[in-house]
Homo-oligomer: A and B are copies of this chain.
Amino acid sequence: MNPNEFLKHIAYDSVVFGFSGEKLKILVMKYKNTDYYALPGGFVGLEEDLNSAVRRGLKERTGLDNIFLEQFYTFGNVDRSKPEFMRAIMEANGGINESSWMLDRFISIAYYALINYDDVELTPDAISESCDWYDLDNLPELIFDHNEILEKALATLRSNLETKLMGVNLLSTMFTMKDLQKVYEAILGEKLHRGAFQRKILGMNLLKRHEKQFSGAAHKAPFLYSFEK
């Protein structure tokens, strides 16, 4: 990494949510030759828009464009930077070169993303051993203030969930009402009443109903929906 390529003292971190059947998951990276786990993050090019930098990082790691992405908070305390950890990570990657700027203090702009679990092709970056899904209820300890960032992402997601039916971004283009309900239940962490849920969602007039499709299961087939507008 060329120290003259990026804005100093500025980083971003992203909380990337996915949904697989029943559980909410997030993307976590593991740094090479360490036991340090972290949220996917990165730096902002000298002539690059902040949002573009985040999208670039997500594209590199997931292969996806046009991700549902929202900025939710900027973490700027002095004590959030831990040069000891950063040094250890860099040494585990072949020693500290010119990039000692990475040991400086960083302000981090945090984003959350909602993506379709099945669409991603995960690629760790140069200093990471892995970039993988972890169940939200079975996460490794994260370094820096990344646990706090995750908590705030989740709180923001919960409180914004109603707006624009954003939960649909965790599903593929066609889904059943039950699929969507599972997403809501996983995010909110509670069971919802089927009838009321359906009534509320349909009342938003944001979904398009398609032909039923026989699921092969021994019961009435559900409608399929897609998100419109």
Contacts and interface: CB of A to CB of B under 8 A. Distances in A.
Interface stretch (A3-11, A26-34, A207-215): A3-11
Contacts of A107: 7, 10, 44, 50, 109
A77 B49 contact: yes
10 contacts: A8-B9, A9-B9, A10-B10, A47-B78, A49-B76, A49-B78, A50-B75, A50-B76, A71-B73, A76-B109
Given A8-B9, A107-B10, A50 B73 contact: no
Contacts of A51: 76-77
Interface of A: 7-10, 44, 46-51, 71, 73-78, 105, 107, 109
Contact of A44 (B7, B76, B109): B76
Contacts of A76: 44, 49-51, 109
For the complex of A and B, 7 pairs with smallest distance between CB atoms: A50-B76, A74-B74, A49-B77, A74-B109, A7-B9, A49-B78, A47-B78
A9 B101 CA distance: 15
A161 to B, nearest CB: 14
Nearest to A9: B7
A51 B49 CA distance: 23
